[in-house]
Structure formats: C-alpha cells, structure tokens
Amino acid sequence: MLAKGLTLSEWLAAAYLQLQKAGIDNARQEADYLLGHLLQKNSAYFYAYPEVELQAKQLEQLEVWLKERITGKPLAWILGEWEFWGLTLQVSPATLIPRADTERLVELALDLTLKPKARVLDLGTGTGAIALAIKSERPDWQVDAVDFKLDAVSLARKNARQLQLDIRVWQSDWWQQIPAQTYDLILSNPPYIHPKDPHLSQGDLRFEPKTALVGGEDGLQAYRELLTPIQNRLVTGGYLLVEHGYDQAAAVAALFSLANLRDIKTYTDYLEQPRVTLGCKT
C-alpha cells in the first residue's frame, strides 16, 4: 500500500520497487507508463516536475493498477491501449496485444514493389494492427482485414474509425466468408505456438486468448489453412508474407513450397531470429 500525499518522484520510486519485487521486467518503464496514462503526460513531465503532489483519488487509481499488474494482468489491458507502428490502438482481452516484433512484418511488406491501388489482405487481424499500419503508410492501397471473432472485428473497426484509416474489416474463419477475389499481397500473423510450449503459462500469454496463440497440434495448422486456397487468392506475381516462431522457418518454407509458391525467403526479426517468410505466386 502506497502512502497518501506522494509526489510524482516518490510514487515512481515506490512503484518501481513494488514492480521489481514482483519480477516485472522493465519495472521502471512500466511505472512511467502507469503514471503517464493517469496524468496524460509523458515521462519528461515527471522528471521536470518531480515535486508535484498526487491527489488522493489519483493515488487510489494507481494503487488499483499496480495491484492488477503485480498479479500478472497485461499492462496493455490495464491501460486499454497500446502503440504499434506509431499508432495508438485500443486493445481488449478478445485479441492479442500487438508486439513490436510484428512491426518487422509491416516493414517487409512496405519494402515490396506493388502496383498503385494494390489489394492487400490481413488474415487474423485482431486489433487491426497490421492492416492499419500498412494503410497508414500506403493510403492508395486497398486494405481488407478479417478475424473469426466478432469482438475482434468490432475492435479493429473501432481502431480504424479512431485513426481515420479506411480499411474494410469483416468476420470470417480464415477464407470462409471472404469474397472470391484475388490480392496482390496477403499477410498474416496467425496462431503458431505449440500447445505444449511452456511459454503459454508465462507472462502476458497466460491471459491472452489461446485461439490467437495455439496453432493446432503441431503449431502449424494455421499455415495449412491459409495456404490451401492460396493459388486462387493471389494474383500472378502476388506475395504471401507470414510471421512464425523462431524454430518454424524450415517447416513454413516447406509448406509454402508444397502450395507451389516460389522465390521463398525467410527474414530475421530485430533480434536476428528467423521469424518472417515470404513467397510469391509466379
């Protein structure tokens, strides 16, 4: 329990110690996030005005958030929002929390040479992060996004409205409800974790929806689903770009080859792990 009448610097110091004791990574940064979210200020303000005193109601709210975080609730859910590709996205327990690693997928997509008004599809969009990041950089591209969960579809649409980015979002279990049209680029960050992976019982993964994490019995089922009709869904010269586990590159590349995709390449993420694979319909 934190005492009443704390200044900004005193609260940050006390919160940091509590989070650190609870084993939270980046405890100092997370304390900054919580205080910044409450005050709608960035960390520069805290250090410029460390003597500002917090009010009783503010301390009560911060205490609630600290307790939630210490018990493991994801920071993004406490804040109700998270940043991806410089965009502030609303988040909820219905979807995965956008990861910085997935920005690598966006970066590689933007490096592709596509025609003006290219048609792009994001399969399993969740918050809409990938689709919205693409649209923010290529406003002339026609971007569609789908998710099988209605709550996720609603959230992605809400994020699109708030960011004023014109993408189409609808509900579909993979290809089932997607109109029969072809795309120049299809992207996906599908469920790919093995059901026995110990990471599922650690950190934020304990709370996030397993349907967005676990990729069937071997972690690869989602890739089979999205690759089955891929030849009928890509234009000639079109690309499929997917994220996968660091140890799945060879298996995913083999599935791409079985689906008759060519020019298959695997790219590393920001930690130099093989995490993104690209294939082309030739």
pLDDT score at 194: 63
Q: Has residue 161 been placed in a domain?
A: yes
- Taking only the tens place, the pLDDT of each residue in 36-69 is 999 999 999 998 999 999 999 999 999 999 999 9
Helix axes 103-111, 129-137, angle to 10 degrees: 40
- Taking only the tens place, the pLDDT of each residue in 221-268 is 999 999 999 999 999 999 999 999 999 999 999 999 999 999 999 999
Q: Has residue 81 been placed in a domain?
A: no
CATH value at residue 28: 1.10.8.10
Residues 105 and 238 in one domain: yes
Residues 100 and 21 in one domain: no
**Across all residues in the chain, what is the average pLDDT?**
92
Residues 152 and 206 in one domain: yes
Residues 220 and 128 in one domain: yes
234 forms beta bridges with: 183
User: What does the angle CA 195 – CA 197 – CA 202 come to, to the nearest 5 degrees?
Assistant: 115
- Taking only the tens place, the pLDDT of each residue in 169-219 is 999 999 999 998 999 999 999 987 766 666 555 666 666 566 655 666 788
pLDDT band (50, 70, 90) for residue 2: low
pLDDT score at 214: 62
Interval 109-135 mean pLDDT: 97
Q: Rounded to whole angstroms, how far apart are CA atoms 279 and 81?
A: 33
Residues 35 and 155 in one domain: no
- The burial of 179, by beta-carbon neighbours within 10 Å (0-12 exposed, 13-18 middle, 19 or more buried), is given as exposed
3-state secondary structure of 59: helix
Q: Has residue 82 been placed in a domain?
A: no
- The burial of 252, by beta-carbon neighbours within 10 Å (0-12 exposed, 13-18 middle, 19 or more buried), is given as buried
Q: Has residue 18 been placed in a domain?
A: yes
Q: Has residue 79 been placed in a domain?
A: no
Domain carrying residue 14: 8-71
Interval 90-115 mean pLDDT: 95
Q: In what order do the strands lie in the sheet containing 262-268?
A: 168-171, 142-147, 119-123, 183-188, 234-243, 274-280, 262-268
Residues 97 and 67 in one domain: no
Q: Rounded to whole angstroms, how far apart are CA atoms 119 and 121?
A: 7
Residues 260 and 122 in one domain: yes
Count of structural domains, the chain: 2
- The burial of 105, by beta-carbon neighbours within 10 Å (0-12 exposed, 13-18 middle, 19 or more buried), is given as buried
Across 1-15, 70-84, 228-242, least confident range: 1-15
pLDDT score at 219: 81
Q: Has residue 136 been placed in a domain?
A: yes
User: What phi and psi, each to the nearest 5 degrees, are found at residue 237?
Assistant: 90, 0
